Amino acid sequence: MIMKNLRLPLLLAAACFCLNVSMAQNPKQKGLEAITKNAVQGQLEFLSSDWTEGRQTGAPGAYMAADYIASMFKVYGLEPGGDMEYIMPSWAERMQGKRPSQHRTYYQSFNLLEYKPGDSQEMSLVNRSQGGTRTVNFAYRTDFSVRPSDVSVEIDMPVVFAGYGLSDKKSGYDDYKDVDVKGKIVLCLSGFPGEGDTLSKGYSTFGNMGSRALRRLKSEKAAELGVAAMIEVEPGSETSASWADNLPFRYNSSNYEGDVARESYYETSMEIPGSELDREPLRISISDRVLNEIIKDSGIDLGEFKAQVKNSLKPASRVIPGKSLRIKTTVDSKMIRVRNVVGVIPGKDTSEVIVIGAHYDHLGKHDGWIWNGADDNASGTVGVMTLAKAFMAAGQQPEKTIVFAAWTGEEKGLLGSEYFASHPYNNAGLMLNLNYDMISRDNEDDTLGVKCELTYTKKYSVLQELTEKNNQEFGLGLDIKFKPSENPRGGSDHTPFAQKGIPVMYFEAGFPPEYHQPDDHINLVNWDKLTNIIRIGYLNIWDLSNTEWGPAE
């Protein structure tokens, strides 16, 4: 009897104790505790499942993935941050007095132009002399190949030899100095002066530049100068080897064997159409015999030029006299409607916006194979969704507005993030982008499964300082390699923001051998690393959204 009388007070005391503990828990900690392995795993299991069919840009699987992401944003309580949708009542409803209405959606929709080379590609070399004209017609994928622009074109232009096609203000080296290349066809060597000779002046000047950055620099400069077409050559490299028409005995790779080549995701290109034609020059590859025919009798000796320029860094660009190329390309194109997914937590200050983003698209399905893309980039997308869950669970309105976005079209050229960066939520000023891309895997040297990288805008040293502090204070145990950069760029969705001068933080965990392969599956995920990278992002953004910060003095 005494025990029964004591039970009620004890239960009341326990309840009061739990209530006091709950009240003592701060909002930041509440949000952090909402980031659980089960929450992360549950979302990733569906997003990277066969149901979403590899989430190819514009395909039904991508639409299903976008619907799922939007539904989770709604479950977590985010406000929609996409386009306005107008609802027109039926005639009967209008007769009853119902008026048209509008509401905001979670989708930012826009068009992409999808295109690929058409059936006909032509190229001819025209030799003009006092005796008349001689024209040589070349065969497609026998002596040349072409990556066309987004529209069919016909050009008949002189050829200009432009060294390596480089223009570098820092070193003063400029292959385009004193030559007019507007509307013309540029012939240049691949690589850079002194490539392969580590003791040369050219190598010390350009040797730290990656091949992707080098190619981008060349393309951007050619487009800026109005080059019509660009032929980049490396004599003796057997460019034509990939044009062979006969099949091998059998296609054989780590995940496919067959007599027929698999359909390729890269057969088509996509771009945001814009209001003007693409300024990118045509990219043309040619065989050695076409190259030698173009420079024949011109006085240009490519071997001699390479040997001379690697230390002198003196260009020798010139118009190739009496030679012009006629090029005709055809293109098959169509418009594709696509969607970013955008949710918002409005801050007390709606004029300053932090964007947390990741691309949800991947390579789709081809010939019965599905590229599930568990790491690339269902993992990053789940990171964005889970951060939304955490910030809502915290139950406290942030000082600054936070946008949560899942981008489409990254695999086609960072298109979704590029579109948003030019059409931001409410046209507000963007003050930071956190980008998650491939945050769930380990490199071979990561035996403990704790390594990751953070690329960030160098002058905002607070981004590294916060990351180090939160990693240590909350015992996350991540081994973070910091990669500060004056202007962080590359093949992920932080780039469009960095190009606009917006500071960025870009987390990446590893670069596994299953990258862009159909066996990028969920069973390979390092769940602890993935969860902790999401946690460090939450802790950083919590601090950055609730305090004043800026570049280092």
Phi, psi of 470 (to 5 degrees): -70, -35
Output the CA torsion 152→127→191→165 (10° steps). Answer: -70
What's the confidence (pLDDT) of residue 16? 45
Instruction: Give CA 381 to chain center in angstroms.
Output: 14
User: CA angle, 283 as apex, 282 and 288 as ends, to 5°?
Assistant: 130
pLDDT digits (tens, 9 = 90+) for 339-370: 999 999 999 999 999 999 999 999 999 988 99
- Indicate the residue type of 213: A
Q: How far apart are CA 422 and CA 426, in angstroms?
A: 11
Q: Which of 25-39, 201-215, 332-346 has the lowest mean pLDDT?
A: 201-215
Phi, psi of 551 (to 5 degrees): -70, 155
What's the confidence (pLDDT) of residue 237? 83
pLDDT band for position 6 (cuts 50, 70, 90): very low
Q: Does domain 29-86+335-546 have CATH number 3.40.630.10?
A: yes
Question: 362 with 377: CB under 8 angstroms?
Answer: yes
111's tokens: 């068009």
The answer to whether the 29-86+335-546 and 115-333 domains have the same CATH topology is no
pLDDT digits (tens, 9 = 90+) for 96-107: 888 888 899 999
pLDDT exceeds 50 at position 22: no
Q: Where are the domains of the chain?
A: 29-86+335-546, 115-333
User: CA angle, 549 as apex, 545 and 552 as ends, to 5°?
Assistant: 145
Find, among 444, 238, 81, 189, the residue nearest to 69 by Cα: 81
The answer, yes or no, to whether the previous bond of 372 is cis (omega within 30 of 0) is no
pLDDT digits (tens, 9 = 90+) for 271-285: 999 877 777 899 999
pLDDT band for position 253 (cuts 50, 70, 90): confident
pLDDT digits (tens, 9 = 90+) for 450-476: 999 999 999 999 999 999 999 999 999
pLDDT digits (tens, 9 = 90+) for 393-430: 999 999 999 999 999 999 999 999 999 999 999 998 99
Domain 115-333 fold is Glucose Oxidase; domain 1 (3.50.30)
For residues 188-215, give the mean pLDDT. 89
What's the confidence (pLDDT) of residue 267? 86
What's the confidence (pLDDT) of residue 19? 43
Q: Is the dihedral of CA 373, 375, 376, 379 positive or negative?
A: positive
252's tokens: 């054989």
pTM confidence score: 0.86
pLDDT exceeds 80 at position 21: no
pLDDT band for position 4 (cuts 50, 70, 90): very low
